[in-house]
């Protein structure tokens, strides 16, 4: 990445003055008016040098200006209000940038910031009792994009799906199929049938017949023992649903390395060992009186920030374990804090090379003990995740706890118009989901609706394509449009999904990104790439300089997005690159330009096309050549 040449020179020239400073506090400024790199070092060390930040910056600039001629890529230095701003010589770096992109292509932007560190990314994690809804899709797209970014920056990434085949929601299905006699087979897909019909019907009956809740509690306890026909049936149901969920994830472009079954947290003694550890450290207690008598609890008074809350139950008085208890055992395994290990077997019937925990497993637990464990879990679970992390810190220290990351995101709702398009009557402008009421929007239904609209456009605009070509193309565009829509909003904000916004051809949408990429491919199809002339003495105009700078920064942006665990940073870069390219193309000719502008611009378009493709691949969008 040619920007790194410039950055290295900035570091070298700064060290001419700040010889003993290790941290130079470099950042990409918010506006190009302030250069391509800016340093806040004068604010950090002004007292040490006995000066005000602005005075120090002016003095540093004067000294560094005398040395600037020794550097190839630094055009000028500016001292402004205490900041040191560095401007890149774009003319000198332009050919290097185009050559490097042409040489590396799909490898362009890669770096070694991960240095092979093992990272576990757990995402999707939907209870295997229903089809994936659009809220799960936000989870999947965030987790999958993180995995792509971290792999690209040389992290050893292992992607996990945690499948809960125990607990309350599985008990609802077992109750429906056994005590209520609901059929196991249906004309609709099994995951949709379980979620849309069985789960909703069972929950509606609890109010009418409270005795069913007692039956449900018995089932939960039987599942928890992991023995007997009830536990076997729960696993069978969960397995069938999970197969369908993974098909949906594959449709979104996401895959997994491992399925960890929650029941195996109990079976392989992860839960027991975690409880033993917490018991020895005096962090859990068995209550002997009050409403929690007989329960094993964490006292709220020892959890920082949660001191005034009620004590948190890990083991209920009837011996069944809570979600938090199993999550603690699971987290200990992730971080290598437990001697208990999983065993795995292959599930090639679901996906090639996919592993799952199994009592009959023969594959060693290679995922055990990560340098970083990222759990993509929605914001509603923040309290439990905070307690879990606090428990890790109390038991093993802050440094270990910092390796566990709750990657939080807000939920997804639909606009009233989008809900109506999916067949729901909306009584407000924003429609929230409720599994118990049967109001949730399946990912496949949303994709099918997007695909239908796109297909109709393609039939009109591309009459020469076959039905299979239109189907394949509309599927890729639908997936790209949905992924972009689920990634573009800050993950800490409520996302309101709308079909019209998602399918906009212009502006902030995945369709716009694909359209821009197709435009670059169209130009290149008409160009004679083997007959380009020499353009080494070509002077770039303002828009060309802007585009070269952006292309040179691609690796820096990818590294920043990976380090910050924020795919949105790359998405913003990709959208801005499209905006700049389209502005340039509308103002300047490419194929009809005079030489050497023509040859330079063809190479520029080729480079933009490559970087857009790399960006889309890292975010899970699917590049297409026609639209």
Angle at 403 between CA 389 and CA 311, to 5 degrees: 5
Q: Are residues 483 and 554 in the same domain?
A: no
Q: Are residues 551 and 595 in the same domain?
A: yes
The DSSP output letter for 11 is H
Question: DSSP of 286-308, one letter per residue?
Answer: E--SSTTTT-EEE-GGGSTT-TT
CA atoms within a 13 Å half-sphere pointing along the CA-CB vector of 436:
7
Residue 432 lies in a domain: yes
**C-alpha to C-alpha distance for 12 and 16, rounded to whole angstroms:** 7
Pairing of strands 296-298, 412-415: unpaired
Q: Does an H or E element contain 355, and which?
A: strand 355-357
Q: Are residues 481 and 562 in the same domain?
A: no
**C-alpha to C-alpha distance for 290 and 272, rounded to whole angstroms:** 25
**C-alpha to C-alpha distance for 176 and 179, rounded to whole angstroms:** 6
Q: What is the pLDDT of residue 410?
A: 96
* CATH number of the domain within which 566 lies: 1.10.730.10
Q: What is the pLDDT of residue 439?
A: 67
- Residue 149 CA: distances (Å) to CA of 48, 111, 429, 617: 39, 10, 35, 10
Q: Are residues 532 and 456 in the same domain?
A: no
Residue 344 lies in a domain: no
The 3-state DSSP composition of the chain as helix, strand, coil percent (nearest 5) reads 55, 10, 35
What are the residues whose beta carbons fall under 8 Å from the beta carbon of 333, sequence distance 6 or more? 265, 270, 340, 341, 342, 368
* CATH number of the domain within which 72 lies: 3.30.1360.70
Q: Are residues 479 and 558 in the same domain?
A: no
Dig out the tokens for 112 from the structure.
């070694």
Bond into 423 cis (ω within 30): no
What are the residues whose beta carbons fall under 8 Å from the beta carbon of 112, sequence distance 6 or more? 153, 154
What are the residues whose beta carbons fall under 8 Å from the beta carbon of 169, sequence distance 6 or more? 127, 129, 199
Residue range(s) defining the domain that contains residue 600: 510-619
User: Residue 38 forms beta bridges with which residues?
Assistant: 27, 85
Q: Are residues 519 and 609 in the same domain?
A: yes
Residue 562 lies in a domain: yes
Q: Measuring CA to CA, which residue among 64, 58, 59, 97 is closest to residue 80?
A: 58
Q: Are residues 478 and 517 in the same domain?
A: no
Going through 304-343 in order, the beta strands assigned E by DSSP cover 312-315
**Residue at which a domain ends, from 469, 495, 521:** 495
Q: Are residues 522 and 611 in the same domain?
A: yes
Q: What is the pLDDT of residue 294?
A: 95
Residue 295 near residue 287, CB atoms below 8 Å: yes
pLDDT in tens, 510-550: 999 999 999 999 999 999 777 778 887 789 999 999 999 99
In the three-class reduction of DSSP (H, G, I as helix; E, B as strand; rest coil), residue 478 is classed as helix
Residue 207 lies in a domain: no
In the three-class reduction of DSSP (H, G, I as helix; E, B as strand; rest coil), residue 155 is classed as coil
Residue 441 lies in a domain: yes
**Residue at which a domain ends, from 463, 495, 527:** 495
With a pLDDT cut of 70, the percent of the chain lying above it is 99
Q: What is the pLDDT of residue 435?
A: 65
* 312 alpha-carbon distance from chain centroid: 30
**C-alpha to C-alpha distance for 407 and 490, rounded to whole angstroms:** 13
**209 φ/ψ angles, rounded to the nearest 5 degrees:** -135, 85
Q: Are residues 596 and 547 in the same domain?
A: yes
**C-alpha to C-alpha distance for 550 and 533, rounded to whole angstroms:** 24
Residue 233 lies in a domain: no
**539 φ/ψ angles, rounded to the nearest 5 degrees:** -95, 120
Residue ranges of the chain with per-residue pLDDT less than 70: 435-439
Q: Which residue has the tokens 């800490």?
A: 492
Residue 187 lies in a domain: no
**Residue at which a domain ends, from 447, 467, 495:** 495
Q: Are residues 517 and 560 in the same domain?
A: yes
Q: Which residue has the tokens 């949730």?
A: 440
- Residue 453 CA: distances (Å) to CA of 109, 446, 464: 35, 11, 18
Q: Are residues 11 and 69 in the same domain?
A: yes
How many distinct structural domains can be found in the chain? 3
Q: Are residues 24 and 62 in the same domain?
A: yes
Residue 327 near residue 334, CB atoms below 8 Å: no
In the three-class reduction of DSSP (H, G, I as helix; E, B as strand; rest coil), residue 219 is classed as helix
Dig out the tokens for 86 from the structure.
């560095």
Angle at 587 between CA 585 and CA 589, to 5 degrees: 60
**372 φ/ψ angles, rounded to the nearest 5 degrees:** -150, 130
Residue 17 lies in a domain: yes
* Residue-level length of the chain: 627
């Amino acid at each position: 990445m040619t920007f790194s040449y410039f950055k290295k020179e900035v570091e070298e020239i700064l060290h001419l003055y700040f010889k003993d400073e290790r941290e130079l506090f470099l950042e990409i400024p918010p506006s190009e008016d302030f250069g391509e790199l800016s340093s806040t070092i004068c604010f950090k060390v002004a007292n040490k040098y006995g000066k005000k930040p602005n005075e120090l910056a002016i003095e540093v600039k004067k000294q560094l200006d005398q040395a600037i001629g020794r550097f190839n890529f630094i055009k000028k230095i500016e001292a402004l209000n205490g900041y040191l701003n560095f401007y890149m010589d774009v003319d000198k770096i332009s050919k290097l940038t185009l050559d490097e992109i042409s040489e590396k292509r799909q490898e362009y932007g890669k770096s070694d910031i991960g240095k092979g560190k093992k990272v576990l990314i757990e995402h999707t994690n939907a209870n295997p009792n229903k089809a994936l809804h659009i809220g799960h899709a936000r989870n999947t797209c965030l987790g999958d994009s993180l995995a792509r970014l971290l792999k690209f920056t040389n992290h050893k990434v292992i992607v996990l799906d945690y499948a809960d085949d125990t607990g309350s929601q599985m008990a609802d299905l077992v109750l429906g199929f056994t005590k209520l006699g609901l059929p196991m087979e249906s004309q609709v897909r099994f995951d949709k049938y379980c979620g849309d019909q069985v789960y909703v019907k069972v929950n509606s009956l609890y109010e009418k017949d409270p005795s069913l809740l007692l039956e449900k509690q018995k089932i939960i306890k039987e599942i928890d023992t992991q023995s007997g026909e009830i536990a076997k049936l729960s696993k069978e149901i969960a397995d069938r649903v999970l197969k369908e969920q993974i098909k949906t994830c594959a449709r979104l472009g996401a895959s997994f390395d491992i399925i960890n079954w929650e029941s195996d947290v109990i079976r392989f003694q992860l839960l027991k060992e975690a409880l033993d550890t917490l018991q020895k450290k005096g962090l859990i207690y068995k209550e002997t009186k009050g409403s929690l008598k007989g329960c094993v609890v964490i006292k709220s008074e020892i959890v920082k920030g949660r001191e005034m809350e009620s004590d948190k139950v890990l083991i209920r008085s009837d011996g069944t374990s809570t979600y938090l208890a199993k999550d603690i055992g699971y987290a200990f395994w992730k971080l290598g804090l437990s001697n208990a290990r999983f065993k795995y077997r292959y599930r090639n019937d679901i996906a090639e090379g996919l592993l799952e925990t199994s009592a009959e497993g023969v594959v060693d637990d290679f995922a055990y003990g990560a340098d970083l464990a990222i759990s993509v879990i929605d914001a509603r679970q923040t309290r439990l995740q905070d307690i879990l992390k606090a428990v890790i810190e109390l038991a093993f220290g802050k440094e270990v706890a910092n390796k566990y990351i709750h990657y939080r995101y807000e939920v997804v709702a639909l606009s009233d118009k989008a809900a109506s398009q999916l067949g729901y009557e909306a009584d407000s402008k924003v429609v929230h989901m409720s599994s118990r009421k049967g109001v949730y929007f399946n990912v496949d239904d949303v994709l099918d609706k997007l695909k239908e609209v796109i297909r109709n456009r393609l039939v009109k605009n591309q009459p020469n394509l076959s039905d299979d070509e239109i189907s394949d193309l509309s599927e890729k565009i639908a997936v790209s449009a949905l992924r972009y829509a689920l990634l573009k909003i800050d993950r800490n904000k409520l996302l309101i999904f709308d079909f019209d916004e998602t399918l906009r051809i212009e502006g902030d949408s995945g369709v716009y990104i694909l359209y821009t990429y197709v435009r670059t491919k169209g130009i290149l199809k008409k160009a004679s790439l083997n007959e380009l002339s020499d353009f080494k003495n070509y002077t770039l105009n303002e828009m060309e300089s802007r585009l070269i700078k952006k292309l040179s920064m691609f690796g820096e942006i990818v590294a920043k997005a990976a380090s910050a665990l924020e795919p949105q940073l790359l998405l913003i870069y990709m959208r801005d690159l499209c905006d700049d390219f389209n502005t340039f193309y509308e103002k300047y000719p490419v194929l009809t330009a005079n030489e050497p502008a023509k040859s330079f611009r063809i190479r520029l378009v080729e480079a933009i096309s490559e970087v857009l493709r790399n960006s889309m691949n890292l975010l899970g969008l699917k590049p297409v050549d026609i639209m």
